[in-house]
Structure 1
Amino acid sequence: MEGKRIVILGAGESGIGAAMLAQKQGFDVFVSDFGAIADRYKQTLVDLNIAFEEKQHTEELILNAIEVIKSPGIPDTVAVIKTLKKKNIPVISEIEFAKRYTAAKTICITGSNGKTTTTMLTYHILKKAGLNVGLAGNIGHSFAAQVATEDFDWYVLEISSFMLDDMYAFKADIAILLNITPDHLDRYDYKMANYAASKMRITQNQTADDYFIYCADDEETIKALKNAKINAKRSPFSIRKKVEGGAYLEGNNIHININPIDPLTMSISELALQGKHNIYNSMASGIVAKVLEIRNVTIRESMGDIKNIEHRLEHVAKISGVDYINDSKATNVNSTWYALESVNPEVILIMGGVDKGNDYEMLKDLVKQKVKAIVCLGKNNKRIHEAFENDVEVIVNTFSAHEAVQVAYHLATKGNTVLLSPACASFDLFKNYEDRGNQFKMAVKEL
């Protein structure tokens, strides 16, 4: 297949999926990972007879591609990406590539917080309603792998800003933007406007037949909307005010009025996912369900019986009257704000890790009100000490999940909550946030 060489950078879930699909479409495929490739992914490449390299990027094997598909984790500042761009070789995301080969419709969910929960809830509702639907993006099996091996009519995709940055022709049939809060600013020259512009790419290429669902209470979203040209039908959701053609909270009831002939009203006490942030997530998913004309009874049932996702405000145990909650997925300050907002006072907060230029200011009020001690879990905790030394009496440093849990256990008394909600990435002490969450759970079970 001379002239049809596709190179894939990064051999994680998305990279392997892209390789499978590219091979199926008849391309000459080469996979290159600067790190070591996990055994199970290596085995897939060997089984499919796809050429690969690891622990290096060999330029002569990469720069002869007609197109490069890169892992969302690789920033544009990496040497090989700079060289590719200089040579005008297109660099795209796995999501962009996969969409070319499927006629399925897509529901795409982005936002700094709540993406995974909203994606899972939307998928749960659609599946319960009997739709032929796949789940992909930042979650589950890669989109490209499913396009290569499955035949779904719909996909619910969790989309990060890093994915959006490498998407060009892709179009979401239904786009959801949950919120825009400071996160990953190190990838956006520490400029909020750049990050917001990246999130707004979720609306690109949408037409008047498509839907754009967004939070009318989110300041940064409203700011970004002023400069954006949105062709899709707008559908806002709010817990502060009544909105038309979307969802709003009145008293304890959510109202979804996409279809005035058949509106949906539901009490927030019926929601399986509790807390203010989950009212927003439920509204966004509910609007999608109503756009797809799913029956109210199915929507109600689905929202009432969904299980919370692992590592997101996951209740681990109650020991001697103390609740232990695993929120390891909170890798930014805003996620930790949500977690603190949804738990009762007298919290032992375990936080820390790789600080991505965090501004802890937004946590101060909640920490003063609810937190009695902070247990730092990370190699460098200096900025946490500086941020909260006047707000909390006890701040302790620990260097393993086991140690953090032991310290928290001794600090907690009956009625307290031990909350792992790090506000930071996990790569200093752990493989990833799942590893951090699992080690926390193991340490709690050993108490």
Structure 2
Amino acid sequence: MKRLVVLGGGESGVGAARLGKEKGFQVFVSDKNTIAKAYKDVLLNYEIEFEEEKHTASKILNADVVMKSPGIPETVPLVKQIRAAGISIISEIELASRYTDAMLIAITGSNGKTTTASLTHHLLKTELSAGLAGNIGDSFAKQVLNFSHTHYVLEVSSFQLDDIERFKPHIAILTNITPDHLDRYNYQFENYIASKFRIVENQTSDDVFIYDADDEVISDWIKNNPIQSRLLPFSLTKTIEQGAYFKNKNIVITIDNSQIIMPTENLALEGKHNIKNAMAASTVAHLLKIRKQTIRESLENFQGVEHRLEYVLKINKVQYINDSKATNVNATYFALESMDAPTVWIVGGVDKGNDYKELFPFINEKVKAIICLGTDNSKLFEAFGNMVDIIVETQYMSEAVKIAYKVADAGDNVLLSPACASFDLFENYEDRGRQFKNAVRNL
């Protein structure tokens, strides 16, 4: 019996452990932190051996294969030991993909992947049996166990792609690449780019690669690194012969000899970046022969993703907006770009080597006050201190929202768009977003 060791007892780890057990592996789960009660109950229920608050090397280094949680970096001594022992380390998407014959549609990118994945799933699910997994909702492994969908839309991160071997999506989407998570890639942007492009490394000429043709980082890579799959780019500025482009407020999608034209006037999602997300998702839908009418209706009734430019409440004519999912500068760029009123901006958290320069034009034009919400705000003060009249710091969400309430006037926006990770003061970006919404509702 082969031994599967799972590092990390969270959503992906517990899903992988259950799938491994079902497929005949001897499974052991090890987490150096405590495992949440809900996940512990699952492990106990399925009689899967586990340990928490420690890693016992002797129980790990006898594995045939190790599945590690995407949150564990390569630099951890235990990971180095596993590598030195010649044991294969895979991610949960690699493991789960080995046990399904479903068509995989995988989406990655520095920004927009959650919205694009959710929107793609929304477009497909009315006419196909489609699951949504990866970084969203239930783990891919758990869904492979519980459902027999014919299609899976997967949101995948660079960390998950770092540990693939045979993972091969029939349709791969790359929304964009901007510097992010550089702390995990030796501060080498090239390493991060290479990691994102692993989404196509096992594709053949029968597969499809959909990408943003306006993104120079992506275009340069494609010029210098031959890709086997069929290319279907999308663009806001160029005319695209095979793929999607934007013209006269319409999305035009051409695949072979079939063309569809989608008006964007009634798109539920606002902003240029969402037209790109809509182009990517619609290209998949058109490729999979979803009816034009279905695509149009689905684009118009899609409500977006929680914590991504989510309109919370209007109080005294001030609009409060939760964009907690903006964990890097580029995401915050899109948020500030879409603001059409003076904005009180709540920013800060764990800085991943951010360069704030690209935000300067918006700060001058749209931001009236900045509230820094992090344990170390020195870099924010350095970047923006001279650009606004009001810049303050706090370590409590409730206080940040109260300050915003005092500073904002009728007609203003209050925007939580942190441009940073959340782990200094919050469990994750969802926790941060929910605390913001609760604080707003308690005003």
TM score, norm. by length of structure 1? 0.98
> Structure 2 residue aligned with 1:123, among 116, 121, 124?
121
- Please tell me the root mean square deviation across aligned C-alpha atoms, in Å: 0.8
Kept in 2, the 8 Å contact 1:110–1:199? The answer is: yes
- Structure 2 residue aligned with 1:75: 73
What is the CA–CA distance in structure 2 between the aligned matches of 1:442 and 1:97, rounded to whole Å? 38
| Residue 108, structure 1, aligned to residue 106, structure 2 | yes
**One-letter amino acid of the counterpart of residue 88, structure 1:** G
1:225 deviation in Å? Answer: 1.2
1:409 — aligned with what? 405
1:233-312 matches, cutoff 5 A: 233-261=230-258, 263-312=259-308
The SS at the match of 2:350 is coil
CA distance in 2, matches of 1:106, 1:47: 30
Aligned twin of 2:149:
152
Match of 1:232 among 215, 229, 232: 229
- Matched to 1:52, the amino acid is F
Structure 2 match to 1:378 = 374
Give the equivalent residue in structure 1 for 2:63: 65
User: Which of 176, 179, 194 lines up with 2:176 in the alignment?
Assistant: 179
- The count of aligned residue pairs is 443
In structure 1, the partner of 2:37 is 39
User: Which letter does structure 1 place at the counterpart of 2:433?
Assistant: G
Secondary structure of residue in 2 paired with 1:103:
coil
**1:416-437 C-alpha deviation (Å, 9 max, x unpaired):** 1000000011111111111110
1:320 to 2:320 alignment: no
Q: Distance in 1 between matches of 2:412 and 2:105?
A: 39
Q: For the residues of structure 2 that align with 1:302 and 1:420, how far apart are their CA atoms? A: 28
**What does the per-residue CA deviation read over 1:54-91, in whole Å, with 9 as the maximum and x for residues that have no partner?**
01110000000001000000000011100000111010
Corresponding letter in the other structure for 1:103: D
2:217 to 214, 220, 225: 220
Structure 2 counterpart of 1:30, from 28, 31, 46: 28
State the match for 2:19 in structure 1.
Answer: 21
SS of equivalent residue, structure 2 residue 30: strand
Q: Are the aligned partners of 2:341 and 2:411 in contact in 1 as well (CA < 8 Å)?
A: no
Tell me if structure 1 keeps the 8 A contact 2:250–2:263. Answer: yes
- The amino acid across from 2:128 in the alignment is L
Give a deviation string over 1:137-181, Cα, whole Å, max 9, x none.
000111111112211110000000000000121101000000000
Q: Output the CA distance in 2 between the equivalents of 1:257 and 1:444.
A: 45
Amino acid at match of 2:295: I
Unaligned runs of at least 5 residues, structure 1: none
Does residue 301 of structure 2 align to residue 341 of structure 1? no
Q: Report the 3-state secondary structure (helix = DSSP H, G, I; strand = E; otherwise coil) of the residue aligned with 1:20.
A: helix
- 3-state secondary structure, aligned to 2:265: helix
SS at match of 1:98: helix
User: Does the alignment pair 1:444 with 2:436?
Assistant: no
Residues 145-154 or 107-116, more deviating: 145-154
Superimposed CA distance per residue, residues 280-302 of structure 1 (whole angstroms, 9 cap, x where no aligned partner): 00000010011101110000000
Secondary structure of the 1:257 match is strand
- How high is the sequence identity, in percent, across the aligned residues? 57
1:432 has 2:428 as partner: yes
Corresponding position of 1:421: 417
Determine if contact 2:116/2:281 at 8 Å carries over to the other structure: yes
1:163 aligns with 2:165: no
The residue type equivalent to 2:421 in the other structure is A
Q: Is 1:7–2:11 an aligned residue pair?
A: no
Question: Partner of 2:125: helix, strand, or coil?
Answer: helix
Alignment of 1:133-144 (within 5 A): 133-144=130-141
| Amino acid aligned to 1:339 | A
Distance in 2 between the 1:357 and 1:159 partners? Answer: 22
Distance 1:225 1:367 in 2: 34
Instruction: For residue 255 of structure 2, give the secondary structure of its aligned residue in structure 1.
Output: coil
- 2:85: which partner in 1? 87
1:49 alignment partner, SS class: coil
Question: Are the equivalent residues in 2 in contact too, given 1:345–1:369 (CA < 8 A)?
Answer: no
Residue 46 of structure 2 corresponds to 48
Shift of 1:259: 4.2
Contact residue 70 and residue 160 of structure 2 kept, 8 A: yes
| 3-state SS, counterpart of residue 46 of structure 1 | helix
Aligned mates of 2:223, 2:253 — CA distance in 1? 25
* Superposed displacement of residue 361, structure 1: 1.1
CA contact (8 A) 2:349 2:423 kept: yes
Contact 1:317 1:323 in 2 (8 A): yes
* C-alpha distance in structure 2 between counterparts of 1:70 and 1:29, whole Å: 13
**Residue 133 of structure 1: how far off its partner (Å):** 0.8
Give the C-alpha shift of residue 102 in structure 1: 0.7
Residues 199-238 of structure 1 show CA distances to partners (whole Å, capped at 9, x for unaligned) of 0111111111111000000111112212222111100000
Structure 2: gaps spanning 5 or more residues: none
Cα shift at 1:413: 0.3
Q: CA deviation at 1:260?
A: 3.0
Counterpart amino acid of residue 343 in structure 2? V
Deviates more, 1:88-97 or 1:363-372: 363-372
Distance 1:226 1:344 in 2: 38
More displaced stretch, 249-258 vs 177-186: 249-258
